[in-house]
Amino acid sequence: MTTAEKIEKINNELENYPTLLIAVSKTKSVEEIKGAYAAGQRHFGENQVQELNEKQAQLPDDIVWHQIGHLQRNKVKYIAPYVGLIHSVDSLKLLQEINKQALKVGRIIDCLLQIQISGEDTKFGLEYADAIDLLRSEEYKGLENIRIVGLMGIASNTPNEKMIKEEFHDLNVLFSGIKESFFKEDTAFKELSMGMSSDYKIALEEGSTMVRIGSLVFGERNYDNK
């Protein structure tokens, strides 16, 4: 199957869901991204700032770039001028830095809080209680150049589908609780970024609005730098 055919196949599967395909292009070349772009794909996800910057400079301006990987504070300034959505906010300090850099370039940057949903402690993300504390803090309330539009989570890397389903389900429950408590009148808070190549079908059933799919679109990565 060509990249275009793979994208079409996934989009057909997403048709009955309120879910957007984010093509995860990390480690893939500008030429490969152009192939997906030619097939109509406009949302791409990257996890390394330097790689993202290099690609952004060479590709069309109507691409929406998603920063999906762990983001270091000192790198925020490089993507602040153009990034469409940052999926990986895992601390108040990072959010404050995004706000500062967004203010400098006169933007409001959309962000997701990354929540730790898997039992594996190798993954980044906020604990549930820390996410609530962040949203309650005075510091957060003062940030005018960021907008939190939802939550993101990465399920355990396991063949146990029941476990993955429970993790996605719990994230959706947290999402509803946070929506009710902090964003009740805010229609922008509506995104639930969950699901990758191996588990997006489960994520769709559990209410995902954004799936981040790499290998199923572009083929296996030669080296895995996630």
Ligand X SMILES: *Cc1c(COP(=O)(O)O)cnc(C)c1O
Chain residues that interact with ligand X, rule: CB under 6 A = 24, 26, 47, 68-69, 154, 196-198, 212-215, 226
How far apart are the C-alpha atoms of 101 and 103, rounded to whole Å? 5
Is 47 exposed, middle or buried, given 0-12, 13-18 or 19+ CB atoms closer than 10 A? buried
How far apart are the C-alpha atoms of 153 and 168, rounded to whole Å? 8
> What is the smallest separation between the CB atom of 60 and ligand X, expressed in angstroms?
22
Q: Which is nearer to ligand X, 207 or 214 (CB)?
A: 214
Query: Please, are residues 3 and 194 in contact by the beta-carbon 8 Å criterion?
Result: no
Query: Please, are residues 154 and 196 in contact by the beta-carbon 8 Å criterion?
Result: yes
> What is the smallest separation between the CB atom of 25 and ligand X, expressed in angstroms?
10
Q: Which is nearer to ligand X, 69 or 207 (CB)?
A: 69
Q: Which two tokens stand for residue 127?
A: 């604990």
**CB-nearest residue to ligand X:** 214
> What is the smallest separation between the CB atom of 115 and ligand X, expressed in angstroms?
13
Q: Which is nearer to ligand X, 143 or 207 (CB)?
A: 207
> What is the smallest separation between the CB atom of 67 and ligand X, expressed in angstroms?
10
